Structure 1
Amino acid sequence: MKRYAISSIIMILSLFATITNAEDRFMLETEFGASWQAKNDVQIPNDMMGDRFDLQELAGAGPWASLRLNAHWNINERHGMRLVLAPLAYEETGTLDSDVRFADETFSADAPVTASYTFNSWRLGYRYRYYDKNGWQLWVGGTAKVRDAEIKLEQGATRANDDNVGFVPLLYLAGEYNFGQGWHFAFDFDGLAGGPGRAFDISLKVTRDLGENWRLGLGYRGLEGGADTDDVYNFAWFNTGMATVQYRF
């Protein structure tokens, strides 16, 4: 399913490029920096057969290298599409405060445990620009997100993991303010809460024009959310400090 989702996104983006030859319709952006986890509570299964523990205490707070790719296609003055490729993964070794039952295996506090965490996010969205005055541009829209997640623990010959690939619909909000001399403030938000879980992804950036097509910037991104179901309890919060490079054409 993951290969199908990525292939579909690439095909759609290639189609956009084929049918669009006007200038100033595309924006490609790379975000790179470092991510820290503020919390990462896990219980699998989410019943009396599993124990709740904190991956942040086991694996540490980080930092880990962060990379994200964003692409925008402005179909016309009002309507646009967006693509986001946002991998997130780490592997660290630490010790548990007490024995933990995880995914039908038991991990001891007497020996080191290697923890692997993956939460990749592949997104395709639509946005509508509803405001363009006084230096501000504001958008609203929706995002189709494919979540590729896995938590794995290893201790000697004992190994256990829980993985999940699923679809999540999100609300999208974004804005940009031009405060003069080529400087811009921007924010974006993907998120939704309700039912067994929630997902919030928000960024704040300050960027500077560098020529006609390039922008450089610095910013912060926060990623928080999780699920509380019969099978899984996992809520995590990641903070990212980043630099950005944009190319517009």
Structure 2
Amino acid sequence: MKTIRKCFILLTLLLVVFPLGAQAFLDVEGGVAFAGYNDVRIPSDIGTAFSLSEETPSSLISVLRIRGGYTFLDRHTVSILIAPLTVQGSGKIGKDVTFQDKTFLEGSDVSSTYRFDSYRMTYRWTFLKRDSLNLGIGLTAKIRSADIALMSDSGYAHRDNLGVVPLINFRAEWFFDDNLGVLLDGDALASPYGRAEDVNLALLYQYSPETVFRVGYRILEGGSDGGGDVYTFALFHYLTAGIQFTF
């Protein structure tokens, strides 16, 4: 966590000292999420494959995401995203589960915590800019801080992970009316070791030139197969509302 704080203090300073003439923005998004699936096997070679979402189901998850940044020279955007996610569930497991060399017996009452916090810095170039249509493409550096934990009366085990992942960023914004539009944006990339997709589809309402509201659906999906280390893949559905202020 100290590494994350140092990185984002530096990135925040980079955003504060933005170029002359740049236009700053702040975007806040909140809502609820629920798991489509959440499959785990740790270690991936000898651990038990099980589903956190089925064995330890959770209720709806409150979510909050904050993005700040600026656009300079009309077409170049730099931003920072903070997107925490913590899911807590509980249930009676239907089989023996070996997780991080700890065995949880069939029929045990088990609580779980799944944390997947995402911190991202993005650069995007708007290659098409029209009165009603903007299309952009860019790169995102994602810092992933994750932790999976199981706990029962017989013991506790967890596995944490901190890593940096490169992603492709994209954004398509189309205003089909003076004040109404559609937004499709996100970060995504796949490799032989895993994949990550965070994609948002939203309806926009431009309240003023400086303020845009939106409601939408977001999908967060991906994971990794570490080849003997960690196997974890999850899918979350988000129902969200957001607001972006331009300064």
Structure 1 equivalent of residue 221 of structure 2 = 224
Between the aligned partners of 2:164 and 2:10, the Cα distance in structure 1 is 19
1:200 and 1:224 in contact (8 A); partners too: yes
Q: Which stretch shows the higher mean deviation, 9-18 or 101-110?
A: 9-18
- For residues 1-249 of structure 1, the aligned pairs below 5 Å read 2-20=1-19, 22=21, 25-47=23-45, 49-60=46-57, 62-133=59-130, 135-229=132-226, 230-249=228-247
- Over the residues paired in the alignment, what is the CA RMSD in angstroms? 1.6
C-alpha change, 1:241 and 1:131, in structure 2 (3 Å) is: same
Between the aligned partners of 2:143 and 2:204, the Cα distance in structure 1 is 29
SS at match of 2:107: coil
Q: TM-score, normalised by structure 1?
A: 0.93
Gaps of 5+ in 1: none
Displacement of 1:22 in angstroms is 3.5
C-alpha change, 1:77 and 1:144, in structure 2 (3 Å) is: same
Displacement of 1:14 in angstroms is 3.2
Q: Which stretch shows the higher mean deviation, 146-155 or 181-190?
A: 181-190
Between the aligned partners of 1:20 and 1:7, the Cα distance in structure 2 is 22
Displacement of 1:21 in angstroms is 5.4
SS at match of 2:190: strand
Counterpart code for 2:241: A
Between the aligned partners of 1:201 and 1:40, the Cα distance in structure 2 is 16
Between the aligned partners of 2:133 and 2:9, the Cα distance in structure 1 is 31
Between the aligned partners of 1:15 and 1:134, the Cα distance in structure 2 is 30
Displacement of 1:134 in angstroms is 6.0
Between the aligned partners of 1:76 and 1:12, the Cα distance in structure 2 is 20
Q: Which stretches of structure 1, 4 residues or more, deviate above 4 A after TM superposition?
A: none
Identical counterparts, % of pairs: 33
1:58 and 1:115 in contact (8 A); partners too: no
Gaps of 5+ in 2: none
2:188 and 2:198 in contact (8 A); partners too: yes
